[in-house]
Amino acid sequence: MATVGEEMHALVQRLYPLCRSITGDGVRATLKIVDEYVPLQVHEVPTGTQVLDWTVPQEWNIRDAYIADSAGNRVVDFAASSLHVLGYSVPVSRTMPLAELREHLYTLPEHPSWVPYRTSYYKPQWGFCLAQETLDALPDGDYQVCVDSTLEDGHLTYAEHVIPGQVPEEVIVSCHTCHPSLANDNLAGIAVATFLARALAERTPYYTYRFVYAPGTVGAITWLARNQERIDQVKHGLVLACAGDAGDLTYKQSRRGDAEIDRVLRHVLTTSERPHRVTEFTPYGYDERQYCSPGFNLGVGSLSRTPYAGYPEYHTSADNPDFVSPEAMTDTLAVCREAFAVLDRNRRYLNLSPYGEPQLGRRGLYDSLGGRSDAQQAQMAMLWVLSLSDGERSLLDVAERSGLAFDTVAGAADALGAAGLIKA
């Protein structure tokens, strides 16, 4: 897992320089790199396509942008960081005095050395983001301003990776691909999702897992619009974001609050004894709010470390590859793997010998516990599984009711099933 952490961090570093937005070649370049790790099916949706209550916007691409002083020195340069340009800036090539230019400049006075991340997706304008200390050092005078960009009809791009399961019912794992040079939001989520897909592909999972790499909001809405006829097949889901900072894990529950994915994450986080928080659903944040919207009402929660807008570096140049760590991403990945292992094994069983307690010793079940350090817990797990296997309660119900770890309960179910005492 330590090696996996380093590989995830290397992927973050590789993706970091690319200029991503809700559309454009930066998204395509990102998906092309991810495709080297897991094969992707890429979808292109034309500008003007109606997607639920939204319309796919024009495609934005940018080649260069800068502010140069009278000597031709670039004082703000897109080549140095994709954050320097207001996202979706329309093209401009002008010379203007600093007083006029200030109306198009964005800074963070409270963090004078940081560059903010700002966008203007649906209002045509142009602008630059820069450090406050850079702005303070600019003398009065004329400046050459250039944004070499295009905003024209094109496509919105998203991608999927599907791991076939034993059943067609699906678990979706979603991450957003629309942010430029921001390591925790969103590249750590992309990296964790990608290596989670690789881990799940090492076996045949029970559920079919569908990984969705899409621009935030309009991308998730586009995916939902194009999959309405099969949405009932989606049984569970998880949105990954802010997955690599040093904060404790945070799980935001689905709109339902009692969806199976909510119960699974609460159980895994609690029994693992990791420091964590579980929060209620709010209709603000990442794409869980799209998947959980009333018409779909999917059981989709969101896993992060420090949540949305909860750390000073959020949406600034300080959210760089040094801000995320291999260890934090590894821990996030481990929780995802543990949660999906529970989800895949969570079944309802029927006791085939329900009249009185069956004789476990005669079937060698007690003998099988000999030498186990958790023999007493394993024995109690067998009794709890037998007691609650009425065809209505799941193994997660048993674990929650008994206070035993899910793995212990699932192991007891395996042993009882092999002895012919219960059936799924």
What are the phi and psi torsion angles at 330 (to 5°)? -65, -40
Other beta carbons within 10 Å of 60: 23
Asked if residue 367 belongs to a known ligand binding site, the reply is: no
Asked if residue 179 belongs to a known ligand binding site, the reply is: yes
Asked if residue 155 belongs to a known ligand binding site, the reply is: no
CA–CA distances in Å: residue 37 to residues 8, 191, 207, 209, 327 = 11, 10, 21, 16, 20
- Given a contact cutoff of 8 angstroms between Cβ atoms, the answer to whether 243 and 332 are in contact is yes
Q: What is the 3-state secondary structure (H, E, C) of the chain?
A: CHHHHHHHHHHHHHHCCCCCCCCCHHHHHHHHHHCCCCCCEEEEEECCCEECCEECCCEEEEEEEEEECCCCCEEEECCCCHHHECECCCCEEEEEEHHHHHHHEECCCCCCCCCECCECCCCCCCCEECCHHHHHCCCCCEEEEEEEEEEECCEEEEEEEEECCCCCCEEEEEEECCCCCCHHHHHHHHHHHHHHHHHHCCCCCCCEEEEEEECCCHHHHHHHHHCHHHHHHEEEEEEECCCCCCCCEEEECCCCCCCHHHHHHHHHHHHCCCCEEEECCCCCCCCHHHHCCCCCCCCEEEEECCCCCCCCCCCECCCCCCCCCHHHHHHHHHHHHHHHHHHHHCCEEEECCCCCCCCCHHHCCCHHHCCCCCHHHHHHHHHHHHHHCEEEEEHHHHHHHHCCCHHHHHHHHHHHHHCCCEEC
Which residues are annotated as part of the binding site? Answer: 179, 185, 315
Which residues are annotated as part of the binding site for Zn(2+)? Answer: 179, 185, 315
